[in-house]
Each structure stands twice: as C-alpha cells, then as structure tokens.
Amino acid sequence: MRHVWELVVPFFATLTRLDAVTKLCERLQSTLRCLDDQFRDLNRTRSKRTGSWTAYWTIRGKPAAAISILLLFL
C-alpha cells in the first residue's frame, strides 16, 4: 500500500501545479486580450489624426505591453 501512495501523491501534486499554471496562463491571456483591445482603440483614435502613428503603436506598443505584464509576474 505504501508504494501506491508514493505514486499517487506526486501525481496529484503535479496536477495541482499544472492547474495553477493553467489558471495563470488564462489570466495572462485575458489581460493581453484586454490590452490588445485598448491598443486597437488607441490606434483608431490616432489614425483619424495621423496615419503614421498607427503603425508605430501597432508594432511597438503590443510587445512592450506584453513584456511589462510578464515582468509583473516574475
């Protein structure tokens, strides 16, 4: 019986860790979606005034936001 517990306990501990990582990834994905929507809105308002700024925010803004969010989790 002892051998069964030695196999079962680490298995469930691994599942618990995987569940926590999955929840963290879902939260991160939700946050990135929200930021993506905000940058899209920013691009729409900027593009009405100056077309050149739209490309700048699209290329530069999203990676910078993603990196800053990832740093928050470290």
64: left (phi over 0), alpha (psi -120 to 50) or beta: alpha
* pLDDT tens digits along 23-44: 877 888 888 777 777 766 665 5
Residue 29 has a pLDDT of 81
The structural domains of the chain, with segments of one domain joined by +, span 2-73
Answer whether 74's CB lies under 8 Å from 48's CB.
Answer: no
SS3 state at 1: coil
* Interval 1-9 mean pLDDT: 64
Residue range 6-31: mean pLDDT, rounded = 75
Q: In terms of pLDDT, which residue wins out, 68 or 51?
A: 68
Q: First CA to last CA across the chain, in angstroms?
A: 40
